[in-house]
Amino acid sequence: MYLDEMTESETHSIQVNYNLSGTPCLNVKLIKDKNKFEPSYSILNYNKELLSYHNENILLYRSVVYSYPELDLLSFSPPKMDLPSNFFSRENYGVCPRYYVNEYIDGLMIHLFYDGRLKKWKMTTQNDLVFTYDGTKQHSLSSIICSILKYSFIQDVSQLPFWDNLSKDHCYNFTLTNKHSHIHHERRLYLTSVYKIHKKNVMPISPELYETWRMFDVLRGLIYFPENYTRVFQETSYLPDDIKTRNISGMVVMNTNTGNRCKYVSQSYNIYKKLRHIEHYYLYIFICYVKMNQHNKILPFIYKTMYNMKKIHSIWKSFVKYLHQTYLDYYVFKKEMYLQDHIRSYLQDIHQQYYINKKNMNTCPRVKKEDIVQFLIKKHPQDVFHVLKNI
């Protein structure tokens, strides 16, 4: 039975306490269902702007769900991932670590957990309840998930019949991909982590274990698991190149002994993530000013959009650096890598104009960042805008 297999992973636990909510680094949100007879929930999240890396306990509270007012722990999400350098320096102490590596999935995080007060399953996002669909766009998430799971005639995702196959002692974290995700634009549910809950203690379950549980058999093809890349993991220095060879946003490395994680993400994902919070109008305006070579001069004068423009300026520099590094990897270092068609087309044009043509003129060609900027200036702003927002 899979219940016997679960106990094999109970070698490490994390303790999470509600009383940490008194610190300024944590946000507490009380949520009540539209039905006034339904019980309430309290969700704790760390405040990104006030994160204290000196207090590692704060990093555990990426999204933690408690019952309210009982304050019983119901669900736990993976903590904030550490930087790879810090992660591996810490993991090298003590027991020899065993790593599991899988694809990083970009999308909306969703908790699934069992509420013993209601005797039924509930879902929340990182900071809100997934309400029963009532015909409004605001509460449409439940209907969307039901449709993905082939139950479009049910409006309450907590009522889906196959949840009863799942262990009620565990919480399950999904990532919902959609048109706003980086690589996977189709609506899908990926199961990205599982934890066993025992009072205030949380025990992480390794993906290589829970992905084999028979209770997920009826859900295969409806829910998905991130691609397993443990087989390609040899040394950390190879991971960035491994990411470039595949059409993925990044990779997550998990120490299966402790449940601690870090992630490596692609340059393109870093740019895309920043662009998601930028209005396209301001992005296009900035590119137009770049073409006129006036982009550095406009920053002090556009008061209402100064913050946006400064962020776009930073994104622009990252975009130039990305194109330059991708050119070097592809044409100079001859690395195997996945390229989108529009990026490949840009690189071919850059290679022709700033390497082949210079070589034919008996000069010593070398493509520099300044050449990338000049190449982008010559392009129509609409073309550059399209490539950047679809990176």
* pLDDT tens-place string over residues 288-321: 888 887 666 655 555 455 667 778 889 999 999 9
**Going by C-beta distance under 8 Å and a sequence separation of 6 or more, which residues neighbour residue 307?**
none
- Average of per-residue pLDDT across 91-119: 87
Q: How far apart are CA 228 and CA 386, in angstroms?
A: 32
Residue in the block written with tokens 């991971």:
239
Q: Give the helix/strand (H/E) hosting 2.
A: helix 2-6
On the question of pLDDT at 118 being above 70, the answer is: yes
Residue 274 identity (one-letter amino acid): K
Residue 359 identity (one-letter amino acid): K
The mean of the pLDDT values for the chain is 88
- Average of per-residue pLDDT across 17-42: 86
What phi and psi values does residue 280 have, to the nearest 5 degrees? -60, -30
Higher pLDDT, 308 or 322: 322
Distances (CA, A) of 156 to 143, 159, 160, 175, 232: 7, 6, 8, 18, 41
On the question of pLDDT at 359 being above 90, the answer is: no
* pLDDT of 205: 95
- Out of 89-98, 183-192, 255-264, 368-377, pick the least confident: 89-98
Q: Give the helix/strand (H/E) hosting 283.
A: helix 280-291
On the question of pLDDT at 391 being above 50, the answer is: yes
* pLDDT of 93: 55
Q: How far apart are CA 107 and CA 285, in angstroms?
A: 28
Q: Give the helix/strand (H/E) hosting 87.
A: helix 84-91
Are 24 and 50 in contact, with CB atoms under 8 Å apart?
A: yes
pLDDT band at 236 (very low <50, low <70, confident <90, very high): confident
- Out of 92-96, 191-195, 285-289, pick the least confident: 92-96
Are 233 and 239 in contact, with CB atoms under 8 Å apart?
A: yes
Beta strand segments in 226-295, E: 250-255, 261-265
pLDDT digits (tens, 9 = 90+) for 333-355: 999 999 999 999 999 999 999 99
- Average of per-residue pLDDT across 5-11: 45
Q: How far apart are CA 166 and CA 333, in angstroms?
A: 49
**Going by C-beta distance under 8 Å and a sequence separation of 6 or more, which residues neighbour residue 231?**
none
Q: How far apart are CA 380 and CA 186, in angstroms?
A: 30
Residue 357 identity (one-letter amino acid): N
On the question of pLDDT at 124 being above 90, the answer is: yes
**The dihedral formed by the CA atoms of 306, 309, 310 and 313, expressed in degrees to the nearest 10:** -160
Q: How far apart are CA 315 and CA 267, in angstroms?
A: 11
Are 111 and 63 in contact, with CB atoms under 8 Å apart?
A: yes
On the question of pLDDT at 55 being above 80, the answer is: no
Is the bond preceding 69 in cis, omega lying within 30 degrees of 0?
yes
- Out of 35-49, 81-95, 167-181, 227-241, pick the least confident: 81-95
Could you give the percent of the chain with pLDDT greater than 90? 62
**Going by C-beta distance under 8 Å and a sequence separation of 6 or more, which residues neighbour residue 257?**
11, 12, 95, 97, 98
Q: How far apart are CA 301 and CA 290, in angstroms?
A: 15
